Copies of this chain bind each other. A is one copy, B any other.
Amino acid sequence: MSGPKIEFWYEFASSYSYLSVMRIEALARDAGVAVEWKPFLLGPVFLAMGWNDSPFNIYPPKGRYMWRDLARLADKYALPFRLPSCFPRNGLLAARVALQGVVPGWVAEFSRRVMLANFAEDRDIGDAEVVGAILADLGLPAGELLAAAVTDDNKLALRRQTERASELGMFGAPSFRAGDELFWGNDRLEDALAWARRAAG
């Protein structure tokens, strides 16, 4: 017997992923839905669409709107927000580290700390010192995990997860999957959870 569950696909550089990373655990618990955390990289996914940068940078009106929308939504959800001095930041190292936290279960708390560093504290999450400090704060062996993050096996695992995102039809983050059903955007988090519950009967 398996209960309702959703896959949560997110990227540490993604502004709307920030909102979902902060919101998903409490909402999923209330809904009785298990969450599989799936960090991946938007860069290759965007490249396949012909974008070599965030669409929020390529299309300035979209970017201006996004930052205002994000500030309003952070306010609505009572989340801290500070405009990052650099966007998008490089989420590669954080994603490689996060992948190692899925089985032992610290991926959720690690992901929240990294997102807060990026979107509330204006820290460079692409810097190994910043990521290491977050791991140490969580009582995890920072040096060991940073070294394990850049092994060939772990690099390949993240590359495969990113390829899988494109294969599953994803084109942005955050995305959610409930069974074969794809939901895109922080706005669809509640709908994805409801779908997973209904699908599980």
Contact = CB atoms under 8 A, between A and B. Distances in A.
Interface of A: 49, 59, 61-62, 64-65, 68-69, 72, 76, 166, 169-171, 181-185, 187-188, 191
15 contacts: A49-B61, A59-B171, A61-B166, A61-B169, A61-B171, A64-B169, A65-B169, A65-B171, A65-B184, A68-B182, A69-B183, A69-B188, A76-B191, A185-B187, A187-B187
Contacts of A191: 72, 76
The count of identical subunits is: 2
A185 B184 CA distance: 14
A170 B59 CA distance: 11
A99 to B, nearest CB: 24
Nearest to A73: B191
Contacts of A181: 68
Nearest to A61: B171
A181 B182 CA distance: 31
Q: Which 10 pairs, one residue from A and one from B, show the smallest C-beta to C-beta distance? A: A61-B171, A187-B187, A49-B59, A62-B171, A61-B169, A65-B184, A64-B169, A65-B182, A65-B169, A59-B171
